[in-house]
Structure formats: C-alpha cells, structure tokens
Amino acid sequence: MGKLAIDGGTPVRSRALPFGKDVGQEELELLRQVIESRNLNRTQGTFVRRFEDAFAEHFGVAHCTASTSGTAAIHVAVGALGLEPCDEVVTAPITDMGTVIPILAQNCLPVFADVDPDTYNVTARTIADRLTDRTRAVIVVHLFGNPCDLDPILDLARDRDLWVIEDCSQAHGSLYRGRRVGTLGHLGAFSLQASKHITTGDGGMTISDDEALGNRARLFADKGWPRYSAAGARDYLSFGFNYRMTELQGAVGLAQLGKLDRICAARNWAGDTLTEKIRGLPGLTPPAVTPGGVHTYWLYALRVDEESLGMTKERFAEAVSAEGLPCGAGYIGKPIFLYEALRAQTVYGTSHCPFDCPKYGSGHVISYEEGVCPETERALDEMVTLPISEFFEEEDIEDMATILAKVSGAD
C-alpha cells in the first residue's frame, strides 16, 4: 500500500474525519424558553424536572435524579445505598477517577477486580475473587460502551446480598440481552460530559426502579431536602450535597435525549462495520462485544501485538495518525489504583482514613500495587484507541480500515 506517511509517504486520507456533537436548533429553542422564563434554577423552573421525567421514561424506570456531573451521578447512587463507613465496594480498574471518588467520599474503600481480557470489563468471576466480609456493593463499568456480562454478576450479587450500581457514563444506549444498561442493577449512573453520547456540557443522571432508592437519591442530590413533596417550611431529612442541575442544562438535555437512539445506532453501526472490515489484519485484535450485548462505541479499543507488527504501540499510533486517523496510544495508561491519588491512600489531609480506620479492623489490608490486576495491566499495555462518531459514513469507515491495513503491513 505504499510508504507510510510517517516515513514521508502520502497519507491515505487528507481531509479530517467528521467529528463534533449533534447540537443545534432544538437546543437553542429550549434554551430560549429558559431565558425568557427568567428561571435558571431548577427549583423555580420546569426543564430539569421534564428532563428527569423524559429520561426515566426513555429507560423504563420510575425514578431519575439529575445532577451536576457523571461523578455526582455515581455519588448520588452510592449515597442512596446508605453504606456504612469502611464498607468495601468492588469496581473496575479501567475507569476514570469519577467512578472511585464517590466511594471514598462516603468513607468506603474501593477494591478493584481484574478484567476479562477480551471485553476489558469486570466479570462475576473477577468480582468474586475480591469479595470479603466487608463487601457491600459493586460498581460495574460498561467500558467504552460495551456492556458487562450482567446476568452472572447479578446472580452473584443476589447470592451475596450486594448492591449493584451500573456506571453507564460511556454506554448511554448500550443493550444487554435486549435491555438498556443502567436498568438491570439497583441503580444506573450516566455522564453528560462534553465527550459523551449526549451532552449538557457537564451533568449526570441517576436512575432506579426502586422506590426507596429513587427517593434517597433525590434527597442526596439536594441537601436532604424533600423540596417537591412537602409544603411549608423547609426540612432536611438526611445528609446530602447540592448537586442540582441548572435549567440551562436541563433544556439542552431534553433536546439531546430525543437524539440518543439515533446517535447510538449510528455509533453501533460504525464500530461494528469497522470490526468486520479489519478482522484478520495481522497484529490487530478488534474489540470483542459481550455476548448478547449491543456496543455503542464511545471509543474503539484496538489491541496491538507489538512483536507481530514490528513496532511499539506508540509508533503504531503515530503512524495511524499520520495517515489521517487520530489514534491514541493506550487509554488511561495504567490501572486507576496505581495513580498516586489512590496509591498513597491519603484522602483526608495526611491521614490514611478510611484505610487505617479502627472501624475497618486490623485484619483487612487493601493493596494498590502492580500485579493486583494482571489482565488489566496487559490490556492497557497493548491498547490503542480510535474515535467513533455518529457522523461517520461508509467512505469514512473504508478509509479507517485502509489506514489500519496499511500500517499493519497487510497486502
């Protein structure tokens, strides 16, 4: 296919791939209505509540609480569980700190299960390996839009009396055995950050079909104040935070929600089509979709065999990018628990609370060291990431496949 562009050859593609967000007139019209109402705060407006109701209806659940970020959405979910200090929560090692911060914020301890080498998601087996008598909950992460294999995880949770939160920050429209992710566990949490399938710039949504959890989530996001269910003087029923979404975000979210299914279908088509076109290329392993799952490809994670390709993953990413396809070498670089913010186990000042809290007990030790999650380390060492967009067309996917074939040395 000719000389690589990184070595002075002609790039496969000279024009930029179509990226961006599907934001336009629908959002502007609803924003205009908010401005004209002069009510920008949800307590006096209607748009956030309309967005919550529409989001709950879309996912087929009874309760939805809007908040300020995906991190806040997960914190609302964890807060609704009423966990005790020093309880353990098992979660995924390939994730953002936004999954972990809420656990620590509730004075609980994050424990990390290894991932499946094909899907990069935690499994019932890897979770079971991390359970102790202190485990109370599991936060599964549907990484890149690929759903976890939930049935065995939910069976394990029922057997061990564990709560399950689904982190759907990258998986808004993903399906598992015909059901929307976020609706199978006790609570589901979604991010509306600027890079996500739909966005309000920043924001989050927490959903549940459980009456008690739904009510506790709403209280937790608004300082424990039952604002919409009690007349007269204010009241504070429980501890909580001020995670209120603004009317401006609610208006944008309401418009965005109407586009979600189309966006996810387009991303699913683009990712699945690319996989079919590059299957069998030397040194490259396309992402595996969980059996029974529908992947919505927030990112496209490709595994590279450096020995087979005769180049490092960094060189591969540079070569692919030079051909006109942006490519990142790796994802988060290393398991989230190897970053200093967690490894040092210093959350509150210079103390090591809750890790050394007497309530936790001297018989429990959590180690955040290399080798704890070997499949995770191996996956991150071999991973490169490609963008997927709802604006891609057949020609764009063909160019992407041609670039990957060229750089991999396929004839």
**pLDDT value at residue 231:** 62
Residues 115 and 2: their CA atoms lie apart, in Å, by 38
Residues 393 and 109: their CA atoms lie apart, in Å, by 45
Whether the bond into 102 is cis, omega within 30 of 0: no
Tokens standing for residue 53: 């109701």
Query: How many helices (H) and strands (E) would you count in the chain?
Result: 14, 14
- Between 161 and 2, name the one with better pLDDT: 161
**pLDDT value at residue 411:** 55
**pLDDT value at residue 367:** 85
CA dihedral 32, 33, 35, 40 (to 10 degrees): -130
pLDDT at 362 over 70: no
The strand order across the sheet containing 135-141 reads 63-67, 204-208, 187-191, 163-167, 135-141, 88-91, 109-112
Query: Residue 159: which region, alpha, beta or left (left: phi > 0; alpha: psi -120 to 50)?
Result: alpha
Please say whether the beta carbons of 268 and 297 come within 8 A: yes
The helix/strand/coil state of 70 is: helix
pLDDT at 361 over 80: no
Cβ-count burial 286-297 (b if 16+ within 10 Å, e if not): bbbbbeebbbbb
Residues 226 and 345: their CA atoms lie apart, in Å, by 35
Alpha helices in 144-279 (DSSP H): 150-160, 211-220, 247-257, 260-278
Residue pLDDT, tens place only, 188-209: 999 999 999 999 999 999 999 9
pLDDT at 232 over 80: no
Please say whether the beta carbons of 16 and 389 come within 8 A: no
3-state helix, strand, coil in the chain (%, to 5): 35, 15, 45
Question: 365: pLDDT confidence band, cut at 50, 70 and 90?
Answer: confident
| Lowest-confidence pick of 191-200, 219-228, 311-320 | 219-228
Distances (CA, A) of 382 to 120, 306, 307, 373: 12, 8, 11, 15
Question: 138: pLDDT confidence band, cut at 50, 70 and 90?
Answer: very high
Rounded to an integer, the average pLDDT of 302-330 is 97
Please say whether the beta carbons of 369 and 242 come within 8 A: no
Question: 126: pLDDT confidence band, cut at 50, 70 and 90?
Answer: very high
Provide the mean pLDDT of the chain: 95
**Residue length of the chain:** 411
**pLDDT value at residue 235:** 83
Please say whether the beta carbons of 189 and 206 come within 8 A: yes
Residue pLDDT, tens place only, 373-391: 999 999 999 999 999 999 9
Residues 49 and 123: their CA atoms lie apart, in Å, by 35
Contacts of 374 (CB under 8 A, 6+ apart): 114
Please say whether the beta carbons of 92 and 230 come within 8 A: no
Domains of the chain, with CATH numbers?
5-21+261-332+376-408 (3.90.1150.10), 25-259 (3.40.640.10)
Residues 121 and 115: their CA atoms lie apart, in Å, by 5
The helix/strand/coil state of 41 is: strand
Residues 326 and 385: their CA atoms lie apart, in Å, by 9
Residues 249 and 203: their CA atoms lie apart, in Å, by 7
**pLDDT value at residue 227:** 82
